[in-house]
Structure 1
């Protein structure tokens, strides 16, 4: 019974993490530079962020049983897969030099610099987006849908 609530909670946390990671570059570099960074890929990662926000609502509705949990799990998997595909396509199609052109070597916290943060940001975003469909699949498994 506990995993019936834990799985959608993981989906909510993963989805909110995707949105939070989309905001990280704004804290590190100038806003117009971030626009260039997000616009340099084939797809905008904000589309994946929007899908992740919808997934938050879906997972929360399923967890609180305001929507049939089976329906919420299925929609969560679908939204999560779409958000992951958008994030992964964007991460792969951003030219490697774009994040490095936006950065400096000024320290942020400890050994982290703006260059380190933006160099790995797109890959961390794609990996975090992969947690959303994984949480949806776990939710479906706890409901014995497969």
Structure 2
């Protein structure tokens, strides 16, 4: 059986609700592929906020965004996604189209730094109030 990657299936589903002036959150930036996808969908007037605890992840993601001309459409935060409720601007509450999680570890990064259940559960709880009606969480 030839299956498409799960990330491609997630992107397809998110395209149904994500448009050119929306707000999105990438809770696990990693190497920036999902952040770039989100930024390309919300451009030119929307915005993405991305979270990661590894400097290498943020650097790689910023480079991808800059190369695509989308760096103005994203803010990258050097903190864990469990701070989502604190770091998201108050005016984002109830307006976010998509919150995306791609759990695991940073390919090529520190294998000792992995996504933990406790921080992910905290982030999921904090993500619910920021979603707009009809918004999606991808996990």
The TM-score with structure 2 as length reference comes to: 0.24
Structure with greater Cα Rg: 1
Q: Flag the structure with higher strand content.
A: 2
Q: Flag the structure with higher helix content.
A: 1
The TM-score with structure 1 as length reference comes to: 0.24
